[in-house]
Amino acid sequence: MVSDNIDIKYNDKVNKEKYMREALRLAKKAYKLGDVPIGCVIVYEGKIIGRGYNRRNADKNTLSHAELNAIKKASKVIGDWRLDDCEMYVTLEPCQMCAGAIVQSRIKKVYMGAMNPKAGCAGSILNLLQVEKFNHQVETEEGILEEQCSNLLKEFFKDLRNGVFKKE
């Protein structure tokens, strides 16, 4: 019986890391575009149904955040704006706009790689995902592949300061 629990916990960790690795892969696409490398996947019944990465600069659109792009795709796949039984994996703690969209779309749980002490609204500055007066609260878990997520962001901002992404 005890070994079954260990296997479940191990498989749970392996799955969380698998989905976060996919979010990291997407974040690297944003990096190549000169956008802040944030990636996101939405999972329903063990299957990825929505993928997104930050495209704010590429699209010249404030709304082109990884989470919003993934929510749009997942909603299209499900055929509903309600993503009740879905989980989100995102490489960086969501901002206030994305946190609001996560609550509105009724996502069940958000797994975060790195926290965002300057703009995070899922626990760092505010926790908009768990406001009791809202009609929906979202479970959260942080620290999934935290080092890899954090290092990718550090590398990007170093390149940004060094002029790697200069506009021509």
- The catalytic site residues sit at 67
Torsion region of 79: left, alpha or beta (phi above 0 gives left; psi -120 to 50 gives alpha): left
* Cβ-contact 97, 61 below 8 angstroms: no
87 φ, ψ (degrees, to nearest 5): -120, 145
Contact 103, 81 (CB under 8 A): no
